[in-house]
Amino acid sequence: RYDFVEVEEPSDGTVLGRWCGSSTVPSRQISKGNQIRIRFVSDEYFPSEPGFCIHYTLLMPHHTEAPSPSLLPPSALPLDVLNNAVAGFSTVEDLIRYLEPERWQLDLEDLYRPTWQLLGKAYIHGRKSRVVDLNLLKEEARLYSCTPRNFSVSLREELKRTDTIFWPLCLLVKRCGGNCACCQQSCNECQCVPTKVTKKYHEVLQLKPRIGVRGLHKSLTDVPLEHHEECDCVCKRNTEG
């Protein structure tokens, strides 16, 4: 008589319903989030009765595609606007689907089809470690001072190619960074400079407007980027002139 089941929405404390006795089956209840609170109260007056039965299912959230930044086709957008739109994609498949929604699969196959051009220069040389006679404290200072570090660079800015869009937009390179607190005492201003620089090639997707034709030319290309392999603190006056 005094047994009941109560369903509550935990996000705002709203009671969705309370049922007891032999009342009709309640309608379906859908929570606002991934949690729901169910409270069962019984006075144990008739413990042999069957009690309550609850059936539940998990609903997957419905994701809608992000609206296009413009009603114009991507190839008709200004390069700066298109560059911002391209930056929002996490996979090359999604990017090609956005650029060519009707034939993106064909474009993707053409993109990876071997051609007469020599590709595959994206290699990384093994770095040769420097053998130095330093104690542990100096080694720690060296590691956290002027050393090659990961920096992200914009390909359009690094290559000075404002007429082209690259994907990914940025890549990681090794560049000298840190401070030079342990520089020569006679030097008033030290700076961290590279002492060994190598050029490495990275394979990326290149998008260029077609001259006189609507659409974008898509191709895989190798871009050269400078990587700093070794760095050192140098007095600024020694690098001038």
Q: What is the pLDDT of residues 154-181, one digit of tens each?
A: 999 999 988 899 999 999 999 998 888 7
Residue 212's region, left for phi above 0, alpha for psi from -120 to 50, else beta, is left
Residue 69 resides in a domain? no
Residue 72 resides in a domain? no
pTM for this structure? 0.53
Domain that includes residue 27, residue range: 1-63
Segments in 38-166 forming alpha helices (H):
79-86, 92-99, 104-112, 136-143, 155-158
User: Over pLDDT 70: what percentage of the chain?
Assistant: 71
**Residue that terminates a domain, selected from 63, 86, 109:** 63
In whole angstroms, give the CA distance from residue 118 to residue 21.
78
Selected residue with higher pLDDT from 101 and 206: 206
**pLDDT per position as a tens digit, 1-40:** 567 788 888 777 788 888 776 666 677 777 777 778 888 8
**pLDDT confidence bin for 129, thresholds 50/70/90:** very low
Going 165 to 166 to 172 to 175, the CA torsion angle's sign is negative
Selected residue with higher pLDDT from 196 and 61: 196
Q: Does residue 65 carry a pLDDT above 60?
A: no
The total number of structural domains that make up the chain: 2
Report pLDDT for 91.
Answer: 79
**Residue that terminates a domain, selected from 63, 87, 107:** 63
Selected residue with higher pLDDT from 106 and 114: 106
**Residue that terminates a domain, selected from 11, 29, 63:** 63
- One domain, residues 114 and 227: yes
In whole angstroms, give the CA distance from residue 80 to residue 166.
12
Residue 195 resides in a domain? yes
Residue 194 resides in a domain? yes
Which stretches of the chain are assigned E, i.e. beta strand? 4-9, 14-20, 37-41, 147-154, 165-167, 170-177, 190-209, 216-235
Report pLDDT for 9.
Answer: 82
Contact 40, 53 (CB under 8 A): no
- One domain, residues 18 and 48: yes
- One domain, residues 169 and 89: yes
- One domain, residues 18 and 86: no
